[in-house]
Amino acid sequence: MTTRKNALVTGANKGIGFETARRLAAIGYKVWLGARDAKRGQAAAEALRGEGFDVEWLALDVTSEESVTDAAKTLAARAPSLDVLVNNAGVAPGYVDALGPDGRYERPPRRESIADIKATYEVNVFGPVRVTQAFLPLLSASGAARIVMLSSYLGSIARAAGESQSPNVMGYGSSKTALNAITVAFARELAPRGIMVNAAAPGYTATDLNAHKGHRTVQQAAEIVVRLATLDAGGPTGGYFDENGPLPW
C-alpha cells in the first residue's frame, strides 16, 4: 500500500501559500495548511477540501516557539513523516505605506523603522529557522524530504548592487538575503540525510503584502515553489532559483 506524502505550507491561508497548498494537493499530497488565525486557516482548508483536496488546517504561528512546538507535536501524532516543508509565511510591515501613486517603493533606508525591521526578521528569518528545526525529526523520517524557503529577488545582493532600478527595500530585502544564507546552511547540514533545501524567488506577485500591486499572479509565483518542493533525487540543493533557473546571490 502506498502512503500518501505529507506537505506543510506555512502562512498558507492566502496568496502564494494558498496556491502552493492547492497545487501540492492537486498532485496527491496531503497538505497541512499552516496559519496562525484559526478562522482564516479553517476557511482556507475548507475551501480546498471543497475542491476535493486532502487539506487540513494546522495552527501555526511562526513567531511563537510554543505554537511551532505544538504544531510539530500535532503533526507527529497524525503522520509518520513530513515530505515537503514550504516556509512561505512572510511579512513586510510598512511596505504598502511606502508605495507611491505609481506603485514604486519610496521609503529610503534612512527612514525605515527599526521596529518594522525587527518584526520583519522575526517572521521572515527566525520563523523559517524555528519551523525547520522543530519539524526536522519528521523531515528526516521521510528519507527524501524537500524544504523550500520563500525568498525574493530583493534578497539578491548582486541584483541590488548591479541594478539601480531595483527597489531599495532595506528591511524586507535584507531579511530575504539572510534567508538565502540560512538556506545554504541547512542544505549543507541536511544533504547527507537526503533532504534538499532551496530558496525560491516567486517574483513581484499581486498579494496583500504589496496591496496587490505586483504584476504576477499567484499561479505564476507558485510554479517555482512547487518545482523545488517536488525535485527528483539528484536535484540541486543549497540553490536560489526563479522559474528560469539559478539566480545570483
Instruction: Let me know if 172 is a catalytic residue.
Output: yes
What is the C-alpha to C-alpha distance for residues 234 and 212, in angstroms, rounded to an integer? 37
Q: Do 41 and 33 meet the contact criterion of CB atoms below 8 Å apart?
A: yes
Q: Looking at 29, 121, 172, 240, which residue is catalytic?
A: 172
The residues, ordered by sequence, that sit 6+ positions from 214 with a Cβ below 8 Å of its Cβ are 203, 204, 205, 206, 207
Which residues sit opposite 196 in a β-bridge? 146
Grid cell digits, residue 53:
483536496
How many other C-beta atoms are found inside a 10 Å radius of the C-beta of residue 203?
A: 18
Q: Do 176 and 203 meet the contact criterion of CB atoms below 8 Å apart?
A: no
What is the C-alpha to C-alpha distance for residues 229 and 149, in angstroms, rounded to an integer? 10
Pseudo-torsion of CA 162, 165, 171, 176, nearest 10°? -60
What is the C-alpha to C-alpha distance for residues 218 and 106, in angstroms, rounded to an integer? 25
Catalytic residues, which ones?
A: 172
